[in-house]
Amino acid sequence: MSAVTIIPPAGEAAATTEPKRRWNGLILPAVLILLWEGASQSGLVDDRLLPSLGTVAGRGWSELADGRLAVDIASSLARDVSGFAIGSALGIPVGLALGLSRTLDRFVGPTFNAAKQIAVFAWIPLISVWFGVGEAAKIAFIALAAFTPVVVNTWAGARSVPRTLGEVADVLALSRWQRLTRLEIPSALPSIFVGLQLGLIYSWLATVGAEYFMTIGPGIGGLMTEGREHFHMDLVILGVLLLGGIGLGLNKLAALMETSALRWKRY
């Protein structure tokens, strides 16, 4: 009597694999935490340089109880959202224009491609001259960081719109606005959302850079700067953990928004 192999449905197999992937992704962070705690507790590393996890957690609790930590997180998020919104609002139309206009692509494209090679931190001196070193300069810097990836991916999405859509538009005698809103933008949406997701990541990195290199004020970057100047490594590590956790959360949020907005592509 031959053995019978039962193959689970594809959906069931995927549902079983997904939790395993999530657990596997936690292995490395858990190992790093154990090594960190072991090195700190055993005295292998000076706890002034690498404080224990308990010390960092205690510092975080005291900062939260004082109300300062909530202000710092809110300030950084407000700057991030403001800069990202401005950079995206400018980047999407610029990318669409470059992707849909051969003339702009030919004359403006090479200049933009050259400018995007400049590291975003190299713009800080110019931004400081134009906007000062206060809140406006920080938001301008964050907006610039979000602007470039949004333009690049929107440009690529608009340029890859199938020619058959243009033929359909000609047959239906669609106006320029109808072609843009009903055919070209929907076709470019996947690339646009990739650009928005990258823009959100870059804007968060720029938020920390702006707070760290410009005037000190409320924000996670300012928190880390204070910790560095007073040699409070627990404060610095707290800031690093906050940056990683919030950045991961923003990335997940952007992915969920993309999945929700592009659900129609499945049908």
Q: What is the CATH number of the domain that holds 226?
A: 1.10.3720.10
Q: How far apart are the first and last CA of the chain?
A: 44
Determine the Cα–Cα distance for residues 138 and 143; give it in Å rounded to an integer: 9
pLDDT at 107 over 70: yes
Q: Determine, yes or no, domain membership for 129.
A: yes
**0.85 exceeded by the pTM?**
no
Query: Which pair of tokens denotes residue 203?
Result: 């804007």
pLDDT at 259 over 70: yes
Residue 82, pLDDT score: 93
Q: Determine, yes or no, domain membership for 168.
A: yes
Average pLDDT, the chain: 79
Q: Determine, yes or no, domain membership for 84.
A: yes
Q: Determine, yes or no, domain membership for 8.
A: no
pLDDT at 95 over 80: yes
Q: Determine, yes or no, domain membership for 184.
A: yes
Question: Between residues 204 and 42, which one has the greater pLDDT?
Answer: 204
Q: Determine, yes or no, domain membership for 32.
A: no
Q: Are 101 and 155 in contact (CB under 8 A)?
A: no
- Over the stretch 112-135, which tens digit does the pLDDT of each residue have? 888 888 888 888 888 888 888 788
pLDDT at 1 over 50: no
Domain range holding 110? 66-261
Q: Determine, yes or no, domain membership for 139.
A: yes
Q: How many CA atoms lie within 13 A of 66 on its CB side?
A: 9
Tracing tokens 């980047």 back to the chain, one arrives at 91
How far is residue 74 from each of residues 77, 83, 162, measured CA to CA in Å? 5, 14, 43
Determine the Cα–Cα distance for residues 142 and 174; give it in Å rounded to an integer: 38
User: What domain count does the chain have?
Assistant: 1
Name residues whose C-beta falls within 8 Å of residue 120's C-beta, 6 or more positions apart in sequence. 141, 144, 145, 148, 202, 206, 209
Q: Determine, yes or no, domain membership for 214.
A: yes
- Maximum pairwise Cα distance, the chain: 84
Residue 264, pLDDT score: 54
